[in-house]
Amino acid sequence: MNHCFPMIRNRPSACAGSVTKVLSVAFANENIMAKPATIIGPQSPQALTWTISVANFTVVDKVPAEMLHLVDTYWYQFPPLETKWHAALATTIGMLALISIVGNGCVILIFSSTKSLRTPSNLMVINLAFADFMMMFTMAPPLIINSYHETWVFGPLMCEVYGMFGSLSGCVSIWSMTMIAFDRYNVIVKGLSAKPLTYVGSVLRILFVWVNSLVWTLAPMFGWNRYVPEGNMSACGTDYLSKDWLSISYIYAYSVGVYWLPLVMIIYCYTHILQAVAAHERNMREQAKKMNVASLRSSDASKQNAEIKLAKVALVTITLWFMAWTPYLVINYAGIFNSSPISPLQTIWGSVFAKANAVYNPIVYGISHPKYRAALYKRFPSLALRKDKLTDQTSLASCATAADQCET
C-alpha cells in the first residue's frame, strides 16, 4: 500500500515509491511522544505512524538550507549516519593528518636542507611530499569540524574550494608518483643511454604536473561537472550522481586522465625496472661463474637478494597506489553506471583510503631512501630508524625508490 505524506518544512513529500524528501511526518496522535504507552502493538495505527516518522529522518536533515540545492535527491532515502561513524571519521582523519603532516614535513625538510639529497630527481619527491602535506593540512580540519556538526557547515563556496583542493592535491600526488616512476625507469632501464635529468627538466615536469592537475580540478568550478556534498555530508567532491552529459563525460575523462593512465604508466615502469635488475643480477652471476667465484658481491650474507627486495618495493608501491585511489573510482563508477547502491557510509571509506595515501607516501618514498634515513638519523635521532650501512645490494634495491642512488 502506497502512502502520500504532507509536505513538511517546504520539502516535497514522498509518494508512490519516489525518493523520500521529508524531514518528518505529522503524527496521527499528537500525544504519542508524550504517552508512548498508548502504542498497543506493532500493527496499531499509532505504531505505524511512529515508524513512518522515525524512518523519514534522513542524512540530509541537518544540511543548511543554502546547501540543499547541491544535494542530490538520491541521498534523501538514507537515514542519518550514527554519531559513532562521524566520531570514527573525525578520529581517523585526525590521526592520519598528524602522521601525514609530520611525515611529509620531515621529507620536505630533510630533502631540501641536505646537500646530498638536493638532486633533480628528488625535487619530484619533495613535490609529492608537498602535495600530500597540502592535502591533509587543508582538508583534515574542515572534515573534523563537519564531523562534529554531522553535516557541512561552511557554505556552498567553501564546498567548492574544499573539493577543488582535495582533487588538486590528489592529482598532483598521483602524477608526481608517475613522474618519479618514469624517472627511475629512465635511469635504471635505459642506463647510460638515458639523458640525465637536469634541474630544468625536473622543474618542467613539476610544472606539467601542476598545470595538468589545475586543468582537471578547476573544470568543475566552470561548469564541467561540479563539487557537491558527499553522501556523508561532511565532505565535498565531484558530482557522480547527475545524469547530464557534462557530468558523466567529466567522470569518464577524469578517471582516464588521473587514474587509468598514471596506473598503466606506473605498472609499465616498475615492471621494466624489475626486469632490468633481474637481468643485471643474472649477468653478475654469469660473470662470477666465469671468474670461478661464488659471487661478485660482498653482501651475500644478506637474507634476501636485490631482486626480491626490488620486487617487494615495486609490489608495495603499486599495491598501495591501487588501494588508495580505487575505492573512489569504484564509488564514482557506481554512481554514473547505477551498477550498485552507494551508501553514505561507503563514501566515508572512500575518503579515508584516499587520504591514507598521504601517510604511507613518506614511508615508501622517504624512509626507503638510504641517504634520507642517514640525514633523518643525524637531525632527529629519536625519530629516525637505525642508521644502516649502505651495501651494494641495499643500494641496488634502493634504486626502486631513489633514482639518484643509481646515478652515482
257 pLDDT above the threshold of 60: yes
- Exposure string for 21-38, b = 16+ CB within 10 A, e = fewer: bbbbbeeeeeebeeeeee
14 pLDDT above the threshold of 70: no
Q: Write the pLDDT tens digit of every residue in 359-377.
A: 988 888 777 777 888 888 8
Phi-psi domain of 80 (left: phi exceeds 0; alpha: psi -120 through 50; beta: other): beta
Q: Work out the pLDDT band at 215, boundaries 50, 70, 90.
A: very high
159 pLDDT above the threshold of 50: yes
What percent helix, strand, coil does the chain show, rounded to 5? Answer: 65, 0, 30
Q: Work out the pLDDT band at 173, boundaries 50, 70, 90.
A: very high
In DSSP terms, which residues pair with 238 in a beta bridge? 227
- Exposure string for 90-115, b = 16+ CB within 10 A, e = fewer: bebbbebbebbbebbebbbbbbeebe
CB 194 within 8 A of CB 186: yes
So what's the pLDDT on residue 164? Answer: 96
So what's the pLDDT on residue 295? Answer: 58
Cell for 185?
Answer: 625507469
Top pLDDT among 270 and 32 is at: 270
190 DSSP assignment: S
Per DSSP, the three-state class of 341 is coil
Give the Cα separation of 139 and 162 in Å (integer).
7
Domains delineated in the chain: 1-57 (no CATH), 81-406 (1.20.1070.10)
CB 178 within 8 A of CB 208: no
